[in-house]
Amino acid sequence: MEKPWEKPFKNREEARAALSPMGLAGHICFLLGIVFAVLGIIGDAANATLGLEPISWLLLAIVAFLAGMPAWITWAVAMHLLGIGAESKKTE
């Protein structure tokens, strides 16, 4: 499967098809980042090692948040293009 951010959208249907997977990928990365951050905070507060050191959990949270950025940007561009298309149809 090709990645939606590698080439521009050709038409409205292609942009609409990219919305669901990109939104899902963004949500998964965001939730993983939240879980990793919470584990890091709990591990630091309890002064315990929860599998990894607390700083490692926090670094994993940052990586998960950054990994979700391409998905969110693709989702936002697709939504913007669909909005522009809907406005241009209204004015015609």
| pLDDT tens, position by position, 24-79 | 888 899 999 999 999 999 999 998 888 889 899 999 999 999 999 988 888 888 78
Domain for residue 43, yes or no? yes
Q: How many domains does the chain have?
A: 1
The answer to whether residue 5 sits within a structural domain is no
Q: Would residue 10 count as lying in a domain?
A: no
Q: Is residue 77 in a domain?
A: yes
Domain carrying residue 83: 30-87
Indicate whether this model's pTM tops 0.85: no
Write out the DSSP string of 24-92: HHHHHHHHHHHHHHHHHHHHHHTT--BSB-HHHHHHHHHHHHHHTHHHHHHHHHHHHHHHHHHHHHHH-
Check residue 88 and give its pLDDT: 63
Q: Note whether residue 52 is domain-resident.
A: yes
